[in-house]
């Protein structure tokens, strides 16, 4: 029998393909013994491909990668994150095809995050997170939804070889179950690319606040991420089902 740290309940099975071969994706909460693998995935694929990280070339900056890795692990420890796993009959260890790092957000938690990221060594990493926090700054969950506690997302990512299977969409839908299980009735997240915002829209999110890339500036008035391909960032939310 597998221990609870190595197996979690299947939330959904999604049928897809890889190199034209059929593949089954098992959407599950990420068990504790896969947190390091989840952080590896994020450092390999998310930091390389997410629009803001890509524009600042974070993946080639070891100090920034170390900061982000510590943040991913810190949030994963909260135990709410979900992934799409592919069984691997050869070595028995499933592959993480995609994941979404999730956390319980709220006024207290936001301050905790701030404290954690204030200790980042990399100014680049701090700048990237400022884009996200500035985009969400004016969103008042209490006012919109009547509760300040929400299920937040920090990085939706799919391994390039498994993209095109709607995994991102199914990971966003899995938030319904995670919210129910953890007493959270709303979800709020900043989406940084037109693709991820489109998926969020399909999953029932609506735009709560949108910021243009060129209006997000530092204390000197300089654009935070001038080379980012995304021209705007969207803070989106929905009531969980």
Ligand X SMILES: CC(C)(COP(=O)(O)OP(=O)(O)OC[C@H]1O[C@@H](n2cnc3c(N)ncnc32)[C@H](O)[C@@H]1OP(=O)(O)O)[C@@H](O)C(=O)NCCC(=O)NCCS
Binding residues for ligand X (CB under 6 A): 46, 49-51, 156-158, 163-169, 191-193, 195-196, 198-199
The token pair at 137 is 């700054």
Smallest separation, CB 3 to ligand X (Å): 30
Assess contact for 68 and 74: CB atoms under 8 A.
no
- Computed from CA positions of residues 181, 182, 187, 193, in that sequence, does the dihedral angle turn out positive or negative? negative
Assess contact for 96 and 156: CB atoms under 8 A.
no
Smallest separation, CB 151 to ligand X (Å): 15
Smallest separation, CB 66 to ligand X (Å): 20
Nearest residue by C-beta to ligand X? 168
Assign 239 to helix, strand or coil. strand
Cβ proximity to ligand X: between 13 and 121 the closer is: 13
CB count, 10 Å around CB of 39?
21
Cβ proximity to ligand X: between 3 and 22 the closer is: 22
> Phi, psi (5° rounding) for residue 174?
-60, -20
Smallest separation, CB 182 to ligand X (Å): 21
Cβ proximity to ligand X: between 50 and 134 the closer is: 50
What order do you get walking across the sheet with 21-29 strand by strand? Answer: 10-18, 21-29, 82-86, 95-105, 150-158, 186-191, 232-239, 206-212
Smallest separation, CB 161 to ligand X (Å): 10
With CA atoms as reference, report the closest residue to 240 among 177, 148, 197.
177
- Indicate the burial class of 138 (C-beta count within 10 angstroms; 0-12, 13-18, 19 or more): exposed
Cβ proximity to ligand X: between 5 and 170 the closer is: 170
Cβ proximity to ligand X: between 117 and 165 the closer is: 165
Smallest separation, CB 48 to ligand X (Å): 8
Cβ proximity to ligand X: between 43 and 195 the closer is: 195
């Amino acid at each position: 029998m597998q221990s609870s740290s190595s197996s979690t309940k299947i939330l959904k099975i999604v049928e897809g393909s890889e190199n034209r071969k059929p593949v089954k994706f098992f959407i599950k909460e990420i068990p504790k013994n896969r947190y390091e693998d989840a952080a590896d995935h994020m450092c390999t694929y998310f930091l390389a491909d997410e629009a803001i990280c890509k524009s600042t070339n974070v993946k080639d900056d070891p100090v920034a990668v170390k900061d982000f890795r510590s943040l991913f692990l810190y949030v994963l420890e909260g135990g709410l994150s979900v992934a799409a796993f592919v069984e691997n009959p050869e070595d028995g260890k499933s592959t993480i095809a995609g994941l979404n790092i999730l956390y319980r957000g709220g006024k207290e938690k936001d301050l905790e995050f701030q404290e954690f990221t204030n200790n980042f060594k990399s100014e680049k990493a701090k700048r990237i997170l400022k884009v996200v926090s500035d985009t969400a700054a004016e969103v008042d969950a209490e006012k919109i939804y009547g509760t300040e506690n929400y299920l937040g997302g920090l990085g939706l990512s799919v391994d390039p070889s498994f993209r095109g299977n709607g995994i991102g969409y199914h990971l966003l839908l899995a938030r319904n179950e995670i919210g129910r299980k953890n007493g959270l009735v709303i979800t709020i997240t900043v989406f940084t690319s037109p693709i991820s915002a489109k998926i969020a829209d399909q999953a029932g999110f609506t735009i709560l606040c949108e910021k243009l890339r060129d209006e997000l500036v530092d204390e000197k008035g300089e654009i935070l991420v001038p080379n980012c391909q995304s021209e705007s960032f969207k803070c989106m939310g929905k009531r969980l089902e």
